Amino acid sequence: MDHSNYVIDEMISAKSIAARVEELAKEISEYFEGTDKLIVVGLLRGSFVFIADLAREFDLPVEIDFMETSSYGNSTESSREVRILKDIRGEIEGRDVLVVEDIVDTGHTLNHVVKLLKARNPKRLKICALLDKPSRREVDIKADWIGFEIPDKFVVGYGIDYAQRNRNLDHIGAVRFVE
């Protein structure tokens, strides 16, 4: 099938995302209340818009760091082979850490990252994901906070791409391939 012809059907509006991000930030701020600093580790590239909005809503001292992993390439299917392309710069031993992911699909990437970070002995490590696709899960991992549970559709927007396109949409849309 030719994957160059597709349309995007809006799934989650910008307004719904903004309201949910505010709720998530409040819950996370309450959970980590009293921390000297929350280290937010974003998984690039899909989470960058979500992190920017989430971090601005936190009522906590925050440090932001990033990891970049690769498991998709230009495909719509995960290769299940997770490579770390960029590691975090800061130390997390004895610190509070929040891993922020755009979407939890098969769970392989998140599982790999969490194991790697837990080996560095953080005080607490929690996970926040904008989107969760539980029907696709292949490993036993789940986020502590989830923005939206979605069906098994390929999505773009709000930082999430298809072949490096559509990250700039202010909403989440489902990709529908057409002939």
Q: What is the pLDDT of residue 111?
A: 95
Rounded Cα distance between 60 and 47, Å, is 20
Q: What is the pLDDT of residue 71?
A: 67
The yes or no reply on domain 15-151 and CATH 3.40.50.2020 is yes
**165-179 pLDDT, tens per residue?**
999 999 999 999 988
Higher pLDDT, residue 72 or 95: 95
Average pLDDT, the chain: 92
Q: Could you tell me the pLDDT band of residue 80, with boundaries at 50, 70 and 90?
A: low
Specify whether the CB–CB gap between 83 and 95 falls below 8 A.
Answer: no
Rounded Cα distance between 54 and 70, Å, is 23
Q: Is the pLDDT confidence value at 152 over 70? A: yes
Across the range 24-38, mean pLDDT stands at: 97
Q: What is the pLDDT of residue 163?
A: 84
Helices (H), the chain: 14-31, 48-57, 108-118
Dihedral class, residue 177 (left if φ above 0, else alpha if ψ from -120 to 50, else beta): beta
Sequence ranges of the domains in the chain? 15-151
Q: What is the pLDDT of residue 164?
A: 87
For 135, phi and psi rounded to 5 degrees?
Answer: -65, -20
Q: Which residues are catalytic?
A: 105
pTM, to two decimals: 0.92
